Every structure is written in structure tokens, then in C-alpha cells.
Amino acid sequence: MQVKRIMAQIQDEYGAEPEFLWPDRYPTYCVFRHRQNQKWFALVGAVKGTTLGLSDDELVDIINLKFDAGMALEFASNADGIYPAYHMNKMNWITIALNESMDDEMVFELVRKSYSLTD
């Protein structure tokens, strides 16, 4: 499962542990924080496909990542598997569907970018 691989890589590379902040309402949602300043650089969860504009209600694992200020919406509209941020500022965050539509290395390049932007 891609979501597990990406989460494991975040833990390995940054030493960041997933924080499950809403265990009763959203037990699968977790955040990863930057070690120095505690800012979120990734939020992992699952949403219905229709939330992303897909044609069905099947749950899709996602990761929300920080992106260049004011550029996220434009980037998301021009890339497969990347969407305007779910439940975050759409100008500064993107959502990536972790459904194998994008290879792990590309996802992790965007994780690295998010981490550096929250430094």
C-alpha cells in the first residue's frame, strides 16, 4: 500500500512520528510535524473519491503537502494525481492521491519540498 510506504519513508528520513490528533472522529488521519518548529508538513488521511472530483465514492488515501505560496492551485490543475488541497488552504497546499497513480519517488520529492517550506 503506497500510503504505508510513504509514511515509513517520512519516519525514516525525518524521524517524524505520525500524530493521530482526532482518533475518535478521524482515526486514520495523522499529521507529521517538522522537528525544529512543530509546523505540519504532511497530513495523511482518506477521503471519498468524489471529494477529489473522481467519479466514485471509494475511499482514497491522500497526503496533503505544503507547496509554494500562491502556486498550489495552478500546480494541482496541471498534474495528474494532484488536487487542490482537501481541507487546507488551496493556494498553499496540495493533495496527492496515494493510489499508485504517481510513483513513490515523485510523491517523496513533494514531501521534501513541503518539509523545506515549513523549515
Read off the pTM.
0.93
Q: Which domains can be identified in the chain, with CATH numbers?
A: 2-117 (3.90.1150.30)
- Dist CA 67 CA 79 (whole Å): 14
The model's pLDDT over 55-110, given as tens digits with 9 standing for 90+, comes to 989 999 999 999 998 899 898 887 889 999 998 999 999 999 999 889 999 999 99
Q: List C-alpha distances in Å: 118 to 20, 49, 63.
A: 20, 28, 16
* Cβ–Cβ < 8 Å for 21, 33: no
The model's pLDDT over 22-42, given as tens digits with 9 standing for 90+, comes to 999 999 999 999 999 999 999
